[in-house]
Amino acid sequence: MFNFKLIKEDKASKARLGEITTNHGKIETPIFMPVGTQATVKAMSSRELEEINAQIILGNTYHLYLRPGDDLIARAGGLHKFMNWQRPILTDSGGFQVFSLAKLREIKEEGVYFRSHLDGSKQFISPEKSMQIQKNLGSDIVMAFDECPPYPASRDYVDKSLQRTLRWAERCQAEMEGIENQALFGIIQGGIYPELRKQSVEEMLKFDFPGYSIGGLSVGEPKEEMYKMLDYTTPLMAKNKPRYLMGVGTPEDLVEGIYHGIDMFDCVMPTRIARHGQIFTAVGRKTIRNAVYAEDFSPLDPECDCHVCQNYSRAYVRHLLKRNEILGVRLTTYHNLYFMLNFAQQIRQALAAGKFIDFRDEFYQNYQLK
Amino acid sequence: MFNFKLIKEDKASKARLGEITTNHGKIETPIFMPVGTQATVKAMSSRELEEINAQIILGNTYHLYLRPGDDLIARAGGLHKFMNWQRPILTDSGGFQVFSLAKLREIKEEGVYFRSHLDGSKQFISPEKSMQIQKNLGSDIVMAFDECPPYPASRDYVDKSLQRTLRWAERCQAEMEGIENQALFGIIQGGIYPELRKQSVEEMLKFDFPGYSIGGLSVGEPKEEMYKMLDYTTPLMAKNKPRYLMGVGTPEDLVEGIYHGIDMFDCVMPTRIARHGQIFTAVGRKTIRNAVYAEDFSPLDPECDCHVCQNYSRAYVRHLLKRNEILGVRLTTYHNLYFMLNFAQQIRQALAAGKFIDFRDEFYQNYQLK
């Protein structure tokens, strides 16, 4: 089963409050989804993810297809059981990684030929294959196999790519026919060309997918371009379907995405910067590895009520990071994910109280942007 | 405060059941103590250590003195507070690391001059300095500063070293005078020379330390040499004081050490082999990274009731280890430490029931030695 309930629309913006229901539980939107590329959200255990109230996590089709193999995961009982995570999972289509990680790729109408970035082995993923992999993984939300064109790309290239992505969407839908426990999301492309975005939305709407994502943003274009595209695209989209902005983002991206009507976000950034010793705080990012924190016995974020901030100091975390101790990365990762999940929750509360614009104003007053 | 209560002596061996009381709580003996070299038991959080019922952990004087500095830890409120661990801590004297890790060391009567293995800086640790560092750390059990001679070493060298270690023990005791919350343990040396071991015990007994460790074993000598030395040394030691065998060991070492009258053990081995993908099971060690476990969906150890074995499979842990995911090392470390702590607890239960020899026989029947 899959259901999206639109609970409330903000009066002063395009922001929405909603709720998704899946076989593995409910997801409150707007939501931030931690990324678990290789069947693990890096450095976190599944019960820690539950503790910080992660409601849904991502899995990566490309990575899991190569290692350990989706057939192995199917024999393990699916991705939920394999990684000991009983809440919802969204899997991407593998498309983005094929285009960003794989080598010697060749895009044909039937699919993409490429070589594995791990061992150079010849591989092929088609729309059908991507669906078969995701069926093996057993994710609750399945993404259509698309091409995500690079930035910059010519209008002509983006157009041709978009048409193929539409044809691929049809093949994905056909391959998923009869599957009831996995919801297939369509992906809207079109680069930074408004008329292509419009065409993509209109054509995608015809498929009546249970949800849609906006792809091809946050791929190197200026932030203002991204927000302009969102501002243009979301009003064209169905109101009664969840909208997912792929690969985004930062706290400020969440505020702006939600402002423009986005319901779902994912990004590796909170976990990646954690591994480099950077943390989120209520007043902006801080590089906790820096010498200035060597004798700072205050919490990572004095305003945070997470387990790490209640029990550990900046000085201790810095010591661990400097000594390459695993616990250092565990603590920064835990805090950063808690920060993002708690941030989304605060936004949901502000939306419920009809105070999202106040929240947004306050955020920009307190949070120092990089 | 520090107290050791001898609860029971085994009738068929030298094994003993006891209880140590410190300001940070009680410790049941025989006990295995996880090693937290740099103010963290590698890959573990303090609440995970509590969950697996670690009753006492080790800290490393040499490492913490160099980074982040014992003065910083003192300003943080001591090692317990710094690392968020409220149960007992034992710190070593730094001696072993000065002799094994540091460069260009020069042993003089006043102490040891050496260069840091981290940055080559000139350093000096004396018996007094080691005590001052451990006072700053605030550990519950403090080890005397000694020289641990290498193996092999001539009788003459071990003898001279032993005499100096005795003079250093006196200086350590003087430096710790008036300190009530930290118990100073003396270290018995003497290499593999029985008469030197005997002399060491007799001289050390005069100091009336609240506990004693046996040092200079498990430094490369054959196992039978170690057991022979234990068999010879423990009967000479005070019955009403805890006996600590430093840097030991494996499950089989615990069984044999306890058989010979040892109460306390520590070793980095369970956490170190975990990082290399090796785990303990009821039937022996297994290298879970091996291809044979790729599709093995059973727990790491089917007889284990730890959180990892209840929730994760060998196939999943192998996948994580192969992909260098932090969670892989977290899970093997958690299991291995649980195994050792649970193993010690089973021995305590066997001792309480008067069935230690049965336990030992059964262990050798089931557990495949390397």
Q: Tell me, what's the ipTM?
A: 0.97
Query: With an 8 Å Cβ cutoff, is A320 touching chain B?
Result: yes
Sign of CA dihedral A225, A231, A237, A243: positive
Q: Is the distance from CB of B270 to CB of B36 less than 8 angstroms?
A: no
Residue A253: C-alpha distances to residues A248, A282, A312, A365, B83 (Å): 7, 15, 28, 15, 35
User: Is domain B3-266 annotated with CATH 3.20.20.105?
Assistant: yes
How many Cβ atoms sit within 10 Å of the Cβ of residue A362?
Answer: 12
Q: How confident is the model at residue B330 (pLDDT cuts 50, 70, 90)?
A: very high
Sequence-distant (≥ 6) Cβ neighbours of residue B72 within 8 angstroms: A294, A295, A315
> DSSP states of B99-160 as a string?
HHT-EEEEEETTEEEEE-TTT--EEEE-HHHHHHHHHHHT-SEEEPP-----SS--HHHHHH
| Composition of chain B by helix, strand, coil, percent to 5 | 45, 20, 35
pLDDT, average across residues B110-122: 94
Residue written as token pair 């640790």? B125
A175-231 pLDDT, tens per residue? Answer: 999 999 999 999 999 999 999 999 999 999 999 999 999 999 999 999 999 999 999
pLDDT, average across residues B213-228: 94
Q: Is the distance from CB of A240 to CB of A211 less than 8 angstroms?
A: no
pLDDT of residue A133: 98
Do residue B311 and residue A39 have CB atoms under 8 angstroms apart?
Answer: no
Distance CA B320, CA B307 (A): 17
Residue B159: C-alpha distances to residues B163, B198, B236 (Å): 6, 12, 18
| pLDDT above 80 (res B149) | yes
Q: Is the distance from CB of A251 to CB of A180 less than 8 angstroms?
A: no
pLDDT, average across residues B59-81: 98
pLDDT, average across residues B222-250: 96
Residue B132: C-alpha distances to residues B81, B174, B263 (Å): 18, 12, 27
pLDDT of residue A102: 81
Query: With an 8 Å Cβ cutoff, is A21 touching chain B?
Result: no
Query: With an 8 Å Cβ cutoff, is A326 touching chain B?
Result: yes
Closest by Cβ to A82, choosing from B40, B316, B325 = B316
pLDDT, average across residues B214-238: 95
Residues constituting chain A: 370
Question: Closest approach of chain A CAs to the CA of B313, in angstroms?
Answer: 8
Do residue B43 and residue A83 have CB atoms under 8 angstroms apart?
Answer: no
- Verdict on whether the full-model pTM lies above 0.95: yes
Reduce the DSSP state of residue B249 to 3 states and report it: coil
Query: With an 8 Å Cβ cutoff, is B76 touching chain A?
Result: yes
Q: Integer distance in angstroms from the first to the last C-alpha of chain B? A: 41
Query: With an 8 Å Cβ cutoff, is B322 touching chain A?
Result: yes
Distance CA A272, CA A333 (A): 8
B265 is in an annotated binding site: no
Residue A359 CA, distance from chain mean position: 23
A45-97 pLDDT, tens per residue? Answer: 999 999 999 999 999 999 999 999 999 999 999 999 999 999 999 999 998 89
B261 sits in the region (left: phi over 0; alpha: psi -120 to 50; else beta) called: left
| pLDDT above 80 (res B370) | no
A94-131 pLDDT, tens per residue? Answer: 988 988 888 889 999 999 999 999 999 999 999 999 99
> DSSP states of B19-64 as a string?
EEEETTEEEEESEEE-EETTSS-TT--HHHHHHTT---EEE-HHHH
pLDDT of residue B312: 98
Strand partners for B313 = none
> DSSP states of A40-93 as a string?
S-TT--HHHHHHTT---EEE-HHHHHHTT-HHHHHHTT-HHHHHT--S-EEE--
Which residues in chain A have their CB less than 8 angstroms from residue B322's CB?
Answer: 67-68
pLDDT of residue B339: 98
B77-107 pLDDT, tens per residue? Answer: 999 999 999 999 999 999 889 888 888 899 9
| pLDDT above 90 (res B14) | yes
pLDDT of residue A99: 84
B247 sits in the region (left: phi over 0; alpha: psi -120 to 50; else beta) called: left
Q: Which two tokens stand for residue B25?
A: 């709580």
pLDDT of residue A231: 96
A315-333 pLDDT, tens per residue? Answer: 999 999 999 999 999 999 9
pLDDT of residue A101: 86
Which residues in chain A have their CB less than 8 angstroms from residue B82's CB?
Answer: 313, 315-316
Q: Is the distance from CB of B343 to CB of B304 less than 8 angstroms?
A: no
| pLDDT above 90 (res B140) | yes
Mean of per-residue pLDDT scores for chain B: 97
Catalogue the E-assigned strands of B126-270.
Answer: 141-143, 183-188, 211-214, 243-245, 264-266
pLDDT over 90 percentage in chain B: 96
Where in chain B are the domains?
3-266, 269-369
Q: Is the distance from CB of B338 to CB of B279 less than 8 angstroms?
A: no
| pLDDT above 80 (res B234) | yes
pLDDT, average across residues A153-164: 97
Which residues in chain B have their CB less than 8 angstroms from residue A67's CB?
Answer: 319, 322-323
pLDDT of residue B35: 98
Sequence-distant (≥ 6) Cβ neighbours of residue A9 within 8 angstroms: A15, A16, A17
Do residue A67 and residue B322 have CB atoms under 8 angstroms apart?
Answer: yes
pLDDT of residue A104: 84
Q: Which of B44, B316, B324, B332 to mutate to test the interface with A (most CBs of A within 10 A)?
A: B316
pLDDT, average across residues B36-48: 98
